[in-house]
Structure 1
């Protein structure tokens, strides 16, 4: 049986759960092995019995926080120093030699693209259209919140949206260190945005989501790929009074703590009850939890979100697809450009409100929730899109593609 190596960024819940779901669908066709540099979600891998290689050097909590700051464009630093990057590549090459996989599957583990190019091994990204060049070079592109400074607000929005496509050229700066590492190992440099696409890209969404369908064959839509934690709904949620509408408030693993705390405070006294699996994100931050809010650890979101009338989320593709599969309208505050774009896709479908992070006010979130709770048209459109998503089996589609491409 051929070997597939899965390499998630295990500090990110959505990515780790995506790759685990695909691996579960592949385990009868491939010998599946995982490799991780650390993170809070390695248990998702080991709980399903997959062998896990603990790669070195390990990511510390400080380095993980730095990676999140870079992803949110709060820092212009490179994710890795050149020495650190080359150490990772050497270790990865050694494991590739030992395991002899037919391909590596990743989503955000950023040294593997270089390693696979050096080794001449196919790389499969699991991503979404909103993080890739075809989206940002299309008419769907828009000016991201990170650059929503007051002087830019004086310019016409149409002009800014057109200018957004040129932001992709900043990728050349990010590539300098990765290309330096590739050069050290005798590999050709990455051109354009090919670093982020690999040999193939599995898109964890249906083509109906972004509407961007005219893509090269190396891009494969597989449908919505969401986390389905095999846990029961906790009794405190099952037994919540149903005298008021329920709101589901989730910020994935990348939500900003200060924004979360402000939204929690703003829920106080509102005419709804709130389920908020944000406990881990609040760690170390004093927060006043109103009586109508239940803060929890990670939940089986696919079950709990379906209980709610509205979802308040950060716009990660997993949380967006979970809300869509629950048939609930969305109020979103994106933490970075890809999440903003995911929310914009839902806005265009008529069942979401996106609030700009740089103009964030908790009172605006509450106003949007009040509006969406009673918006019959938004609920109708959300349920329509839910029916489209329910036709897909993303893990099976991904496994089928991998078997056809790399299997016997």
Structure 2
């Protein structure tokens, strides 16, 4: 039996559930152990039957937001002080030795990239293709500048070129990582792209999303991995699905904001639809939403196919892949480059309509939702994408890669 240590960022829902799916797919001969510094979704880990080690030092709320912006390419400022990186690497190295882990699986827990290397344990990184080094190097337009005019395309290419240099070449990896890397006898990362590159980078994508790209030897496609929460569909969802009004799913993951939740809910409140919205974690007790918007805790979204007519999503890969797998057309509002990438790939397949989050509440937003609900071409494309997902199991493929090396 081999121990596999999982190191997700535990306040990131998509990342935590992605790790859980991979752990579930491992052969029972192996023993998954989870660790984390923030513990928002620890109940999901424990409910799945896995051991969890609570570690320190943790971040404040402001530091979490800063870390998320850094990970998503929205900022090159980070909350990683030398003291924090040094202590987390010490904690992780000790945990690898204590558990006898023979593999480490990480998300955006950046200190794992140092600690696993220092312990001589292979590091596996199930990751979306967007914002990886090969994607940034080979993409002519990242979508920083919206629009299809010649001027917009030219401006976007220029912005992409600048971002490419900053992300893949500029010496912008936080200095703390170079300092602690040298202290632990491992190569110091120079660029942001070097900082988040593992021994095995497992791309959680459909094959068509990688068309036209050349992958380095340390990158391979495993396929979609998204949450399968082991909870029943609440009765309110089935009741709303039986009503004459279309039912819309509002999913904004864990990287949106309270202001966007309120604006989107109020925009949907003006439309002849019912809405089920697992966004309670964003709201304050005194927030008032329209009566047709029904707020819930987290839902087993993978069971909502056939119940909801369309979705409005922030563009995170987990929510996008769940919609794709269940055949639900969606309106995608990418909030940062990685999410914009996911939405654009689906819009190209025809099962999604992209809008800017700035257009929430406008006629453009209403038109996009109407297309997702009623346009036969969009609905046909959603069904075709769902059919393509039937034979995909990214978690199982990732587990097989890990087990291949465990022997």
Please list every run of 5 or more consecutive structure 2 residues that lacks an aligned counterpart in the other structure: none
User: Is 1:101 aligned to residue 96 of structure 2?
Assistant: no
Contact kept? 1:139, 1:162, Cα under 8 Å = no
TM-fit CA distance, 1:391:
0.8
1:94-146 deviation line (CA, Å, top 9, x unaligned)? 2222223112101111111011222232111110111212112224632326x
TM-fit CA distance, 1:304:
2.3
2:29 maps to what in 1? 29
1:235-275 deviation line (CA, Å, top 9, x unaligned)? 11112242011111100111121111001111123121111
1:157 maps to what in 2? 153
**Secondary structure of 2:95's match?**
helix
Structure 1 pair 16/281, CA: closer, same or farther in 2 (3 Å)? same
1:49 maps to what in 2? 49
1:175-215 deviation line (CA, Å, top 9, x unaligned)? 43322221232322225523322000111222223435531
1:205 maps to what in 2? 205
Contact kept? 1:257, 1:282, Cα under 8 Å = yes
**Secondary structure of 1:130's match?**
coil
TM-fit CA distance, 1:69:
4.3
**Secondary structure of 2:343's match?**
helix
The size of the alignment, in residue pairs, is 400
- Which one is further off, 218-227 or 166-175? 166-175
**Secondary structure of 1:264's match?**
helix
Q: Name the CA distance, whole Å, in 2 between partners of 1:105 and 1:212.
A: 28
1:256 maps to what in 2? 257
Structure 1 pair 262/305, CA: closer, same or farther in 2 (3 Å)? farther
2:295 maps to what in 1? 295
Please list every run of 5 or more consecutive structure 1 residues that lacks an aligned counterpart in the other structure: none
Q: Name the CA distance, whole Å, in 1 between partners of 2:77 and 2:331.
A: 31
User: Is 1:234 aligned to residue 228 of structure 2?
Assistant: no
- Which one is further off, 342-351 or 73-82? 73-82
Contact kept? 1:329, 1:378, Cα under 8 Å = yes
1:331-386 deviation line (CA, Å, top 9, x unaligned)? 111121111111111111122222234x4432232221022222111111111111
TM-score scaled by length of structure 2: 0.91
1:143-176 deviation line (CA, Å, top 9, x unaligned)? 326xx7x9xx994414523641441332331343
1:245 maps to what in 2? 246
1:375 maps to what in 2? 375
Structure 1 pair 129/181, CA: closer, same or farther in 2 (3 Å)? same
TM-score scaled by length of structure 1: 0.91
Coordinate RMSD, CA, aligned: 2.3
2:82 maps to what in 1? 82
1:270 maps to what in 2? 271
